[in-house]
Chain A
Amino acid sequence: DTGVSQNPRHKITKRGQNVTFRCDPISEHNRLYWYRQTLGQGPEFLTYFQNEAQLEKSRLLSDRFSAERPKGSFSTLEIQRTEQGDSAMYLCASTGGTRSSYNEQFFGPGTRLTVL
């Protein structure tokens, strides 16, 4: 499977705990995006990377959230001191590269976070 992959697919945690999600983009894609989707809403942009550089962050990304893409390949999204309002689907998408256009963002299956 050469699509975008995300792990874990589901995460249940208690309020106050830290969680980390991983995204592996399509291998030749140099741009990677994180979005969050809550029930009944469309995905909302959180942050994006071009290679290893984090180029834009949404105001939704509070200081409890941090994202990295250390080698320009996979990315991690960490949430510290989780709150019930963090419960959502966290989607990763990738695009771009020498053999791909930037027109379409390809999404992974998402990580569904439930904070109890």
Chain B
Amino acid sequence: QVQLVQSGAEVKKPGASVKVSCKASGYTFTRYDINWVRQATGQGLEWMGWMNPYSGNTGYAQKFQGRVTMTRSTSMSTAYMELSSLRSEDTAVYYCARGEASPDCSGGSCYFQDSWGQGTLVTVSS
């Protein structure tokens, strides 16, 4: 079965960077995108971007452009999300999720996330 297992909780100081990993199993890693989504305590889901593990191509939400980098290791079936210049507002649970779109879809994008990691709490505090 599809599994996405993320790295453990992190505590960082303002201005630092954090790198979260997401190890995929149960499917061919390079066939599906990896999305990153974050959720501050008591708040909703916020999409950060996507990465195609086959090509390495990425697309980031405008809010995170210049601060986020999504990479992968195909040999380890692992995706990474690095967020820099951390501030207290970045304190949140970060999720990776497998993204896909049906090849039969027509009339618009049918992109969605079908499996999620367990989440990684990143706390930014001085």
Task: Answer yes or no: are A and B bound together in one complex.
Answer: no
> Which A residues have a C-beta under 8 Å from some C-beta of B?
none
Q: What is B's interface to A at a CB cutoff of 8 Å? A: none
